[in-house]
Structure 1
């Protein structure tokens, strides 16, 4: 068995959706009294049995489990049911599992990098992605290969499909005779359909669709097929998720628009929106990769033996539920052959496909350094048709840049000024955060908040920049451009030791610096600092962002 132990448990439904309420019935009082007595007696009996059965005592120690949003509710139900059985550690302490909802794409990046406990909760001991392809991607990297359990538990699967308007599916004859992926890509290139793909770096539906479209039908990657895939989807059709593409279909129905999706997403869309031209889930005939949901106990250095043992115990409970049919999720179909399902993706194939996809699509890791010294409030500049202080214009420029960035980018912010930190003239406001919907919103809020801060004295740019460069060099990752963006109207730094030239000599490493000057600033020093790293000085825009200027 996957986790070494088979658990015999009674079946119970773990579906995500629950209906509440219903018709009210008038019930005779004597029936109510009788039922209450039975329920109370039953409750006392159940409580006595549970007490006798459970040997643990004290508070429950729970390990963190990161689960994809579509599975988090079902896993939470399972965790509660498991805890009701009174599981205990060898020490006699009560144990359990805390389920945290984390998107599979976001989790795969955070597990391999800096896990943000503020937004994502405790670093996970176990992981439940909605597709094993994400675990294969993590395992494809030599550094993170050991993080992934080589023997995961298969929970179920969702089919990778194309959401095709019914009228177009009938016109093309795709309902009765599904096309091959080559047929689909040819139709897109000919203009017969518009292939609206989800980003494989941000969505499960996008990742499995790309793996199917670029495979050779025998489980290996075909590089030439990636060129065809990229040409077929173009650059304008890409979105972060199928949800965005499906929402666009509601806003502007287009019978030629075909969306990469998972089967349950099409079902949910039709039920929730009742479109005049319903969508049909079409599975290309040569598709071999589905979204196989798995439970994995992680093996990173943060995972202790005791925590891993608890996660394994929860996995054993899940295994028993899956085997008995008790694990039911409305968005997953059962898997008859778990070994074959896991073999749909391998680290070698997923790694090669994703890396080939990334060619020409470099991610950005950006750290904004926002000057909040007193000089930023002493000058007025024009931005977006308004007269703002230089400091407020800098904040607005940063916000506009964040809004223009892709969701796979990671962005952080420091503010600087004399006394900003306890022993240093800068303060981390936001660590590097992936621009998910919540991440982007939180960062914008932080940027607005720093506009209320002002520090008396000069602008300590040099000391701040050296510290920021060391920080970003330590965060550098393959496939990502590491950038620092300085936003200031100060021409001189009379606070830090040394000069612009001496500071420039300390800015070694892969991180590139761009300096954005507002108002009457003298760009000489800012140019020296930026060009030493391969970056550039940028005159502050009167509206909009600076994304294009910094490599986006």
Structure 2
């Protein structure tokens, strides 16, 4: 499950109890709260904005909904594998298209009801859209690719391996550029590679979720000219001081229809709750409320939306009809067409890490270096063309190990990372901030050497800072740095006895996020972070 610490104050994997809008933390053994009036829902983080509406469901219908959030691809794999059985009653992802491709999916799902919809489109600064003429004459994806390759605009998009909005955009642009008018094949993905590279040359910002991407854009509008995201998210940015011109490519989009889905494994007593809730959500009154409060389109026909959306019908892009094609498309994006990553891992190897904690760290690194054979594990693995830097630290930062993963056979590079992981040992104190400053110096150097890359830092520690610079010293240091430093986010992994408030402040200061591994599961936290790199 997603171990992201949202807004740096809510404990990750938290479930939203929609009676009174309180927040609960699921017990690691017992899971989400469960009783005869509760639906336990495995959901994409995109539906967090439905909380106020679901509070009304609790008041009007006596049905409580508790959420556990995860990425769409990771969540669908959990469902299809049968590992969601008994833990959840239902799912609520942006769509079930990827789920439908997975073996075991059909028997895992009982029924689903489409609640609302939102296409994935481009939002541009009004001045940029006007300069390109797209405010009055919507372009095709080919037009977008040409303009991106010519440096006419830049944009941010989520990682397709972690987020449905990024995957939907990737499917739409690849299908349109293939020119076949039909669902992609493996041959189409190969053939369209050069054009995809042109299109993604304009991507200068990545993220692991649609919400984080939007927040990054609002926080620093100078980063890119626009973002590819759900139409609903883009429309909502006007209220956050970042109004955008919505560009809907004329040759096709992928629309998310947000199906609330009952799992076949759910107790029989959950069916009436599901039926009552979905019937309530699809009433005219609630549908109109969804439109006004979330900027999504209705999930049922005949709802008067006024002027909320432009007239006309969007052309819906055909979705890949085999799992192999979908996975090949994602792998092509990660390994070939998008800008490569440079990732620096600042890793606590102090004395307190001895034993199980060090073993967990070693396994987490080895999983990223190819030891995890699952689909999501494969997408999280170190990628072709990526530079991986490992900086162990204790009383002081150790000598960095830099591994360049080649564009072709990465076997040797991944083995070297696994060997370094096996060679880690625990001893000494904890110089968190000296080590982080060392990482930033090296990250700036690497960014200067390879400017067209996504550079980020991962900080993992299990304890309090005991040596060298303090948290205030680091804050003061960061305040003196230029744009080359401030463009590099730090993603913090909370582990063991780490100072949660202090470390999440580091993530917030640097434009990153904090991820929860306080339960000891470093591998899942590291895998979640990979969606942001």
Provide TM-score, normalisation by structure 1: 0.49
Q: In structure 2, do the counterparts of structure 1 residues 255 and 176 end up closer, same or farther at CA, with 3 Å as the change threshold?
A: farther
- Once residues 459 and 353 of structure 2 are traced to their aligned partners in structure 1, the CA distance between those partners, rounded to angstroms, is 22
2: CA distance, partners of 1:410 / 1:251: 21
**Whole-angstrom distance in 1 between the partners of 2:198 and 2:323:** 20
State yes or no: 1:173 paired with 2:187: no
Classify the secondary structure of the residue corresponding to 2:494: helix
User: Residue deviations 1:401-444, cap 9 Å, x none?
Assistant: 9999x99x9999999xxxxxxxxxxxxxxxxxxxxxxxx65x42
SS in 2 for 1:192: coil
**CA distance in 1 between partners of 2:462 and 2:219 (Å):** 39
Whole-Å Cα distance in 2 between the matches of residues 294 and 269 of structure 1?
24
Q: Within 2, Cα distance between the matches of 1:138 and 1:400?
A: 42
Aligned to 1:444: 494
Partners of 1:272 and 1:186 lie apart in 2 by 30
Unaligned residue ranges in structure 2 (runs of 5+): 1-17, 19-34, 303-312, 336-340, 358-392, 400-425, 444-453, 464-490, 501-519
Q: Distance in 2 between matches of 1:372 and 1:254?
A: 42
Given candidates 373, 383, 404, the residue that maps to 2:397 is 383
User: What is aligned with 1:125?
Assistant: 89
What is the DSSP-based 3-state SS (H/G/I as helix, E as strand, rest coil) of the residue aligned with 1:446?
coil
Question: Retained in 1: the 8 A contact 2:183–2:320?
Answer: no
Deviation at 1:238, TM superposition (A): 2.7
Contact 1:167 1:255 in 2 (8 A): no
Q: Does the 8 Å contact 1:197/1:233 carry over to 2?
A: no
Q: What are the residue-to-residue correspondences of 1:149-228 with 2, within 5 Å? A: 149=110, 151-216=111-176, 218-221=181-184, 222-223=188-189, 224-228=191-195
Q: What CA distance in whole angstroms lies between the structure 2 residues aligned with 1:161 and 1:213? A: 10
Could you tell me how far 1:282 is from its partner in structure 2? 0.8
Other structure's SS at 2:158 match: coil
Contact 2:204 2:224 in 1 (8 A): no
TM-score by length of 2: 0.51
Native 8 Å contact 1:155 1:293 kept in 2: yes
Q: Aligned pair in 2 of structure 1 residues 361, 161: CA closer, same or farther (>3 Å)?
A: closer
From the superposition, tell whether residues 162 and 84 of structure 1 become closer, same or farther in structure 2 (CA, over 3 Å): closer
List runs of 5+ in structure 1 lacking aligned partners.
1-15, 17-58, 87-95, 416-439, 451-470, 483-546
Shift in Å, 1:232: 2.2
- Paired with 1:402 and 1:297, the residues of 2 have a C-alpha distance of 46
Task: Say which of 193, 196, 212 aligns to 1:229.
Answer: 196
Task: Assess if the C-alpha contact under 8 Å between 2:113 and 2:259 holds in 1.
Answer: yes
Matching residue of 1:526: none
- Partners of 1:60 and 1:76 in 2: how far apart? 22
Task: Pick from 108, 128, 134 the counterpart of residue 147 of structure 1.
Answer: 108
Query: CA deviation digits over 1:137-160, x for unaligned, max 9?
Result: 2332225553344x4211111122
Counterpart pick for 1:264 among 207, 211, 232: 232
Q: CA deviation at 1:193?
A: 1.6
On the 8 A contact 2:354/2:427 being kept in 1, the answer is no
1:108 pairs, out of 55, 62, 76, with: 76
Does 2:34 align with 1:74?
A: no
- Give the one of 35, 38, 43 matched to 1:62: 38
- How many Å apart are 1:175 and its aligned residue? 1.6
User: How is 1:365-444 mapped onto 2 (pairs within 5 angstroms)?
Assistant: 372=352, 382-383=396-397, 390-392=427-429, 443-444=493-494
Q: 1:351: how far off?
A: 5.7
Give the Cα separation in 1 of the matches to 2:261 and 2:439: 34
5 Å-filtered alignment, 1:488-527, equals none
Give the alignment partner of residue 284 of structure 1, picking from 242, 245, 249.
249
CA displacement at 1:183 relative to structure 2: 0.8
Residue aligning to 1:239: 207
Once the two structures are superposed, residues 453-489 of structure 1 have per-residue CA deviations (whole angstroms, 9 ceiling, x without a partner) of xxxxxxxxxxxxxxxxxx99xx999xxx99xxxxxxx
**Structure 1 residue matching 2:258: 3-state secondary structure:** strand
Cα 1:384–1:167 change in 2 (3 A) is same
- CA 1:79–1:352: 2 relative to 1, 3 Å: farther
Distance 1:398 1:62, change over 3 A: farther
For the pair shown, the structure with the greater C-alpha radius of gyration is 1
The SS at the match of 2:116 is strand
Secondary structure at the residue paired with 1:348?
A: coil
CA RMSD of aligned residues (A): 5.4
* Structure 1 equivalent of residue 298 of structure 2: 334
Alignment match, 2:306: none
Give the whole-Å Cα distance in 1 for the aligned partners of 2:205 and 2:223: 15
Which of 321, 327, 330 matches 1:357? Answer: 330
SS in 1 for 2:38: strand
Count of residue pairs the alignment pairs up = 345
